[in-house]
Amino acid sequence: MNTAAIYHRPESEYAYLYDQETMHVRLKTAKGDIQQVWLLHGDPYNLELEEWYKKPLAMTKILSTNVYDYWFVEVTAPFKRLSYGFSLEGSDGLKAFFGDHGLFPMEEEALQIANNYFRMPYFHEVDRFKAPEWVKETVWYQIFPERFANGDPKNDPKNVLPWNSKDPDRQDYFGGDLQGVLDHLDYLEELGINGIYFCPIFKASSNHKYDTIDYLTIDPDFGDEAVFKKLVSECHKRGIKVMLDAVFNHMGDESPQWQDVLEHGQASPYADWFHVNEFPATYKEGRDFEDAYDLTYDTFAFTPHMPKLNTANPEVQEYLLNVARYWIEEFDIDAWRLDVANEVDHVFWKRFRQTCDAAKKDFYILGEIWHSSQSWLQGDEFHAVMNYAYTDAILDYFVKKRIPVTKMMAEINNQMMLYRDQTNQMQFNILDSHDTPRLLTETKEDKDLAKQVQAFTYIQPGVPCLYYGDEIGLTGGMDPDCRKCMVWEKEKQDQDLLKFTQDLIAVRRKEQKILSEGSTHWVQVSEVSGVIIYERLYGGNVLRGAFNTGIYPATIELVGETLLDNLATLGEQTANLQPKGFILMKG
């Protein structure tokens, strides 16, 4: 028995309240090392009386990575408190007890000592990780406002270019605005999405607006507060939620606060709003990227035009928290997406969460974090993060061919076990965005491959997000090329891809319950044939996806009703699945 690999941590993603009465318990062991695990559990105050350690509850091995197995069980406690430990039987036949004080021989003497057990001292509802139910039902659509549609030429910037007249450079403007989004809400409704994630819309000096000048003003290039209020109202009438992008890690260097620091230096009332290491705040361009800039202040990356905010400063905190409240209370937005969220301190984010919760019930907070994010997802900061680590594994296998299928499976399972089930149900799954090359460009414009990877992603836990234009065949490399103008002429759109995307979104929304809350099972993962069969199970229902990632056709057993397929020939009981093909079925 590999005792060093046995791991559990109380009051974490390994032991947490799922609902008011139910606790989820996980245990990690070395892969293939443990034959069976049982949970020994009961009330901490009646161990001697009931001897509940004699009533083991079998745990289920739910997922595995390349090095670990994960075990799971769901329990309740009549008095809302629990003591628990684990009885293990190794593949070598050895038995052991694992509890708060480590590993013991499987002897009754160790099992009778109350302090040897882990504890959930009380089921505090206030401490339970809670997430808005509506998020699980949402398919998001990301809009880069400057490039979606020009609905009001009167607010065009002076140097605006004709719509879609060229591929975008970093300083180009094409006149996209909020009226353009209003004008195309019918299109979005027909597409099937029910959530819009807007890149920043506040006053800024760039086309991307991540260099905020004024957080309380709609950028004049996009319209004004009246048109935004109307946009939110019209979205809500159609059942579409609205999420805004908040850039609280840094400001733009044209903001009045930073300009005051440049003018008055250390005497500025805003001097401590930023991380100025030496006055005056200056920079000069370096010789190359590695040399970057010779800066006397902290910034986002090495960008001198984005000075970093000191969110530990109480004045900065109050300023930004007022911004958070304002857009919720005055415009009824439903969610914040937080830019560069991992570079802002946890103390501020805890206050931010409290502010948003007080302003609106069931408000959703999404952090931009590209790596493991447990520290932000304990229930008192964010509900979810942009799930790049999860979808990177999918892209690395399906599209980029960097990893074998077993590595993809292991990485997906590992990411699932980093977080509570409630969190996994809220994670934001994207295959491309304003910060990455577009999916069709990554697939070298292979649309069958793009359809396959989208279908696989849409049946994963978490909520999918579609980047504007992907549904009609928009391509683009790394920023700024991924920020092309939306194509609105139907004859220039890929109508087949659009129909496929509508159908895929319809499946996701129709089967939302099983796809958001169902357990995950890898039925078949073959390095030889490239066939992946993946299931979601919930309430006796099964949704199965079969994917042929190999180079030869494969025969797949059909299960129940076919929901969606591509490159498949369906028989009565089996289907012939071509390379890059897939079938989604419900049994």
Contact 145, 178 (CB under 8 A): yes
Q: What's the confidence (pLDDT) of residue 292?
A: 57
Confidence category of residue 438, pLDDT binned at 50, 70, 90 = very high
The tens digit of pLDDT for each residue in 328-354 reads 999 999 999 999 999 999 999 999 999
Catalytic (active site) residue 298: no
- How would you label 493-525 residue by residue, b for 16+ Cβ within 10 Å and e otherwise? bbeebbebbebbbebbeebeebbbbbebebeeb
pLDDT for residue 86 is more than 90: yes
Residue 551 burial (CB count, 10 A): 9
Query: What does pTM read for this prediction?
Result: 0.95
Contact 63, 418 (CB under 8 A): no
The tens digit of pLDDT for each residue in 156-176 reads 999 999 999 999 999 999 999
String of DSSP letters for 278-303: SSS----B-SSTTT-B--SB-BSTT-
State the Cα–Cα distance between residues 310 and 250, nearest whole angstrom: 9
pLDDT for residue 288 is more than 70: no
**Which helix (H) or strand (E) element contains residue 39?**
strand 34-42
pLDDT for residue 563 is more than 50: yes
Residue the block writes with tokens 């030889």: 528
> What single-letter amino acid sits at 235?
C
Q: What is the mean pLDDT of residues 297-314?
A: 95
Q: What's the confidence (pLDDT) of residue 284?
A: 79
Contact 344, 369 (CB under 8 A): no
Contact 216, 206 (CB under 8 A): no
pLDDT for residue 286 is more than 90: no
Name the active-site residue from 69, 339, 442, 511.
Answer: 339
Cα R_g (the chain), whole angstroms: 26
- Angle, helices 388-398 vs 405-416, to 10°: value is 170
Q: What percent of the chain has pLDDT over 90?
A: 97
Q: Which residues contact 395 (CB under 8 A, 6 or more apart)?
A: 431, 442, 453
Catalytic (active site) residue 339: yes
User: What are the strands, taking DSSP E only, across 164-206?
Assistant: 195-198, 202-204
pLDDT for residue 273 is more than 90: yes
Name the active-site residue from 211, 368, 392, 411.
Answer: 368
The tens digit of pLDDT for each residue in 502-538 reads 999 999 999 999 999 999 999 999 999 999 999 999 9
Vertex 71 angle, CA 68 and 75, to 5°: 160
Q: What is the mean pLDDT of residues 431-457?
A: 98
SS3 content of the chain, % helix, strand, coil (to 5): 30, 30, 40
State the Cα–Cα distance between residues 246 and 215, nearest whole angstrom: 8
Q: What's the confidence (pLDDT) of residue 294?
A: 84
The tens digit of pLDDT for each residue in 475-503 reads 999 999 999 999 999 999 999 999 999 99
